[in-house]
Structure 1
């Protein structure tokens, strides 16, 4: 049951975490008349997430547009995130159809740029109070539901009450923990290291990804001439990387098909990585609580979808719950609607990603689709839509798409098998 209107609230919504998801939610909610406390445990307004693909997939472009961030991103040098992908059948190179619209895109931009940008935008939005140095240490609960948070602040402990508490505090979400929301964990049998390089030319000037079955790698051009280069090998290779991280990283990159000339580039960051990065899925709501971004669902970094899903989930929550958060509707039913949409839009993607995180070769369906996409322009565009999360697994593997892929591969075999004399 939603809180009675006699309840006293300091704010309508308290959000824990002022990264992409939390700041976007604060802006969108406040524009709809919601009073928001945006809590950030770090005191530095320029703080940013370090371990990230630094890419926002095209599914989030409408959210960036609604936030009003497109001009600022373009001015900051954000790069359109077009890409090509290597497979054992050759390169998949999506291109716009002749006389058709351009391929949908969003942006590659380093978190050191976009995190302070969106946080500042939130702080300037009427109705948002950005509270830096506020770390959630517990939840305030009454009658079986959450009605606020307890936070450690530079001035001491503080209690902040609200109709809704939003956890935008990452994969190890304290809000989820305090609310008793369990996480379903999927093992990731790859590890990852990345570094930033300046003056690293890429073919076509666009992103590259390598599906090496089971290893992975990608290179994404970013703002200011910096490329994010990541290697994501099977954990069987971890001992060698631990013995010599830099040497193993460079050797891995040098061995890539059409390898970028890494030895001529300048490394401008440390090697950043994780040897254990499981995927998490949580029910995105509890009484008086909603989870967005990585707090609700942590994807596999090989797909570069976390930033896009962070922005989308902030938008979905706003659309479902903004009115109820101000007392003009039933909050519980609004959270049910948000959870339903989140599950419908993302769990299929997460299921496929969790299966692929087992560091296995392509399965038969993947072999069919990837091989055909390397041979056919329309299927390459279809692959681009899926990689951009603009279509879901059912659309990607529709009967029509599977039939098209089978026909493409059959024509290819007929064209390459020598005729008997």
Structure 2
């Protein structure tokens, strides 16, 4: 038998999950006048997600700035995430245009630093009650819409009622399952492992990604002198990794073009990973309910976009439902607006990522643009904007961009023929 949360304060919003998306949504909604209960199943305030690229793409910077976290990240040693990418045509190394602004950036930072930082910001925000050690066991419904949650915690099982419930509880979202929101699943033909190293210098001191078609790898410098090194091979390589994880991991890294000196480095974490990591896409709203972060859309980890999209989706939700969540507007209309924005901003990215997750080589259009980016600084900047998720697939592969890539590659071919 459960008892309603009648003795305590009422809430406008209950958010399930106090990681990046949930904590960001709690802060932003509370600043707009909502009373927020932020539930987290883990009791440890320093809990964090272990399996992650530990990178925030540049699209996340405006959200970090709005949350007031940029100074704290800089103080914690977060590394601005410049990057370059290896392709069969050579390295793509984006640089700012001469006399132009610097390239947009966010940060590489370990989740052991980032997660407690953003959770503390939420806990310190007036209007937010952080409730750790609470696991959602059911949803409350009234008139065909979600009206709160039932949660088990240290003090037993309780009901918390609210106008809006937000699922920010990850790719295996309990909120989505309890609400009956199915996930569209896209098979991932790659698996992945990563580990943290010290004393692992990278060329130029910046992140490196290897497009090996179909295999992938990346190395990102992080705070406190730690480098995150990840391999994402085609599943045909699984037997070797199952037989000898460390040996296969190191052999894969040693074989990379311009490989980082991994044998001279010191591994300071376990080698962790997923043998199967499908991409999930869910409808981001239902009556009285919204999903943010991985609960709404789980991308392919090889692109390193999950953290950025978690923060962005929290902001999109807040911009759409802020007044209505606090009781000053039509919540259903606001949720419909959030769903439209979420789908418009992320659907194209996810479709392209799901196609590439089939472990295929580059298609003709990608070959055209990637080869041009390896040969031209302006095209490299164009690719950087896409990799940072500041432009979408349609702009990345727009007719002007394709025409420019054709011209670059023709000039390159003519120069080669004349040499």
Q: Is TM-score (shorter-chain normalized) higher than 0.5?
A: yes
Structure 1 stretches of at least 4 aligned residues deviating more than 4 Å after TM superposition: none
Residue of structure 1 in register with 2:334 after alignment: 334
State how far apart, in whole Å, the 2-side matches of 1:387 and 1:9 are: 44
Residue of structure 2 in register with 1:410 after alignment: 410
State how far apart, in whole Å, the 1-side matches of 2:249 and 2:29 are: 43
Residue of structure 1 in register with 2:66 after alignment: 66
Provide the TM-score with structure 1 as the length reference.
0.97
Q: Does 1:198 find its partner at 2:198? A: yes
Q: Does 1:391 find its partner at 2:391? A: yes
Do the aligned partners of 1:22 and 1:314 also contact (CA within 8 Å) in 2? yes
Residue of structure 2 in register with 1:152 after alignment: 152
* Pairwise CA distance, 1:10: 2.1
Residue of structure 2 in register with 1:209 after alignment: 209
Residue of structure 2 in register with 1:42 after alignment: 42
Cα shift readout 1:120-170 (whole Å, capped 9, x = no counterpart): 110000000000001111100111100000001111111000000000000
Match of 1:384, SS state, is helix
* Pairwise CA distance, 1:388: 0.2
Residue of structure 2 in register with 1:369 after alignment: 369
Do the aligned partners of 1:9 and 1:161 also contact (CA within 8 Å) in 2? no
Residue of structure 1 in register with 2:120 after alignment: 120
State how far apart, in whole Å, the 2-side matches of 1:136 and 1:72 are: 31
State how far apart, in whole Å, the 1-side matches of 2:356 and 2:402 are: 19
Q: Does 1:51 find its partner at 2:51? A: yes
Cα shift readout 1:386-409 (whole Å, capped 9, x = no counterpart): 000000111101111000000000
State how far apart, in whole Å, the 2-side matches of 1:418 and 1:72 are: 54
Cα shift readout 1:217-243 (whole Å, capped 9, x = no counterpart): 000000000000000000000010000
Structure 1: any 5+ residue segments left out of the alignment? 1-7
Match of 2:85, SS state, is strand
* Pairwise CA distance, 1:9: 8.2
Do the aligned partners of 1:200 and 1:265 also contact (CA within 8 Å) in 2? yes
Provide the TM-score with structure 2 as the length reference.
0.98
Structure 2 counterparts to residues 1-150 of structure 1, below 5 A: 10-150=10-150
Residue of structure 2 in register with 1:4 after alignment: none
Residue of structure 2 in register with 1:235 after alignment: 235
Match of 1:10, SS state, is coil
Match of 1:194, SS state, is strand
Structure 2 counterparts to residues 335-350 of structure 1, below 5 A: 335-350=335-350
Residue of structure 1 in register with 2:4 after alignment: none
State how far apart, in whole Å, the 1-side matches of 2:54 and 2:136 are: 26
Match of 1:334, SS state, is helix
* Pairwise CA distance, 1:418: 4.8
Cα shift readout 1:163-205 (whole Å, capped 9, x = no counterpart): 0000000000000001111100000000000000011000000
Do the aligned partners of 1:29 and 1:36 also contact (CA within 8 Å) in 2? yes
Residue of structure 2 in register with 1:224 after alignment: 224
State how far apart, in whole Å, the 2-side matches of 1:167 and 1:103 are: 34
State how far apart, in whole Å, the 1-side matches of 2:292 and 2:108 are: 21
Residue of structure 2 in register with 1:354 after alignment: 354
State how far apart, in whole Å, the 2-side matches of 1:137 and 1:54 are: 30
CA root-mean-square deviation: 0.9
Do the aligned partners of 1:202 and 1:208 also contact (CA within 8 Å) in 2? yes
Number of equivalences: 412
Residue of structure 2 in register with 1:304 after alignment: 304
Match of 2:224, SS state, is helix
